[in-house]
Every structure is written in structure tokens, then in C-alpha cells.
Structure 1
Amino acid sequence: MEQLKDDCLFCKIIRGEIPSYKVFENDDVLAFLDISQVNPGHVLMVPKKHLTNLFDYTAQDAQQYLQYIPMLANAILKSDERFEGMNISTNNGEVAGQVVMHSHIHFIPRFTGDGLKLFTRNNADKYDEAKYQAVCDKIKANL
């Protein structure tokens, strides 16, 4: 585990220096209960290599670490008959709400009446065909 950092909370959990409720572990990833439990069954999956966020991933990293998302999502979904869906998300950078600077995927089970509200906004009325195309072209130029 030479690719872990000494001062990273999740690296310490991976090394076993901080206890966690492990859901799944192999050579690539560790999945454990989020201490906040936004909803019961809220799990975090972290790579066993220190990557700050998805911007640090190579294509090989993505293939190696993200392949476990469907397996974990299905196991969590089946763990409680109330679960009807799930938010699977990752915050990348402080401005996006990332608190621990070690890449992690949130699995938040959802059920009717859970009271959890996720806020988005619809700005479609501020765009026309030219604006959509300009945004699209800028992204394509950086692929």
C-alpha cells in the first residue's frame, strides 16, 4: 500500500488505523458505511490507491476501481426491502462538496418518504440552439 498518504483519512481507514464498518474489500477497493448515514445503508467505496478525485483517474484506474459500482449498488439495494432506488455520486473538488480529498463514490439508498431532497436547477430557458452548441463544442475540443 505504498501509494497511500499518511495524512489522509481514507488512507488511514484502508490501512486499518481507523476503524470502519467494512461492507466489501479486495485488492482494489474498500467499501464501508459512511459515518453520516444520510439514509441507512449509505456506503462509500474508495480505491486502495490515493487518488484525490476523478480528475486524477487514468482510463486504467477507472477500469480497475469503478467496475465494482454495479455489484455494490445491487447488494445495497437488496439489503433492505424498503429500498426502491439509489443515488450514486461523487463530489470532485471542494467547490463540488468534496470534504475528504481521497476519491470516493457515495451509494445512498432511497425509499419513498425518506425525506432526502437533492437540489438541481433547470436553466433550459436560458439556452438556445447556439448556446447549447457552443458549450458542446468547447467540451468536444478538450477530448
Structure 2
Amino acid sequence: MDDCIFCRRHDPALNTIVCENTTFFARYDNYPSAPGHVEIVSKRHTESFFDLTDPELLDAYALILEARKVLIEEYDPPHGYTIGVNEGRAAGRSVDHLHIHLIPRYFGDVKDARGGIRKATPNWDPDSWR
């Protein structure tokens, strides 16, 4: 896994680690969609969220909460968050190693936030849902 950016978590040229626990680490996204955008990454090389064990799922959630505390301390407290997993290449995953995005959101950061992550799919327009 030498070519996997996330498997090389101790390389500071590739990863800026925010916090970690037994099975996951949180890192700042190298191409953030918003200031403070972090990724919660499995220390075990696995591609799929659905392959996580029960203890790994608990660790992932615990680290999301810990990373959120860091974001609140380091940035203006976010008004909300987008949390997501691109499960598979068809869903937009570009690194084949499980990572969960935690993206701080603020009122006004986009013109119209309605629909949130739905904008990644064909039926994304909230005005068409009426």
C-alpha cells in the first residue's frame, strides 16, 4: 500500500493529522471544499464503509465528534456540517481507502444550500421536489 496516501499517514508532506484513536485518524483534506474540511480515515486499509467492524464504527463516530471539537476551537464555530462517504468510484471516491468527510458549513457559504449532498445526483434541484 505504499502508493496509498492514507496508508502513509505519518508522512507530513501528505497528511496533516488533526487527532486519532485506535482505528481511525482525522486529517485535513488536501483539497478542502471549505476551511476546516477534514477526513476521518481508517487506519486499516479498507475501501468500503460496509466492511467496518462494530468497534471500528464506534471509533469512527467517536473521532468525528473529537474532530468537530477541534474545528469549533480552531475556526468560527460552524453553523452546520456536511458528513459523507463517497462509497465507490460511481459515487465520486477518488482514493480507494475509506474516508469520511466532515465539512464545516456556514450560512451563506453557498447561494442555496437546500438539497445538500443531493446535488451530487441527477434529481438535485429542490425546486423540482414540489
Q: Give the TM-score of the pair, scaled to structure 2.
A: 0.76
- 1:41-97 CA deviation, whole Å, 9 max, x = no partner? 001110111111202212233223333222212331343225211111111000111
Unaligned runs of 5+ in 2: none
Task: Confirm or deny: 8 A CA contact 2:26 2:63 kept in the other structure.
Answer: no
Which of these residues, 59, 62, 81, is aligned with residue 64 of structure 1?
59
Rounded Cα–Cα distance in structure 2 between residues aligned with 1:17 and 1:40: 19
On the 8 A contact 2:38/2:102 being kept in 1, the answer is yes
Q: What residue in structure 2 maps to residue 115 of structure 1?
A: 110
Structure 1 residue ranges (4+ consecutive) displaced by more than 6 angstroms after TM superposition? 122-125
Question: Percent sequence identity over matched residues?
Answer: 31
Unaligned runs of 5+ in 1: 126-143
Say if 2:34 is the partner of 1:39. yes
- Alpha-carbon contact 2:48-2:88 (below 8 Å) kept: yes
- The structure where helix makes up a greater share of residues is 1
Q: Specify the alignment match of 1:24 in structure 2.
A: 19
Distance 1:64 1:86 in 2: 19
Counting matched residue pairs gives: 120
- The structure with the largest alpha-carbon Rg is 1
Q: 1:73 to 1:82 in 2, by over 3 A?
A: closer
Q: Is 1:10–2:1 an aligned residue pair? A: no
In structure 1, distance between residues paired with 2:72 and 2:80: 7
Work out the CA distance in 1 between the residues paired with 2:62 and 2:84.
Answer: 15
The alpha-carbon distance between structure 1 residues 124 and 83, as it changes in their structure 2 partners (threshold 3 A), is closer
Task: Determine if contact 2:23/2:56 at 8 Å carries over to the other structure.
Answer: no
Superposition TM-score, scaled by structure 1 size? 0.70
Aligned-CA RMSD value: 2.5
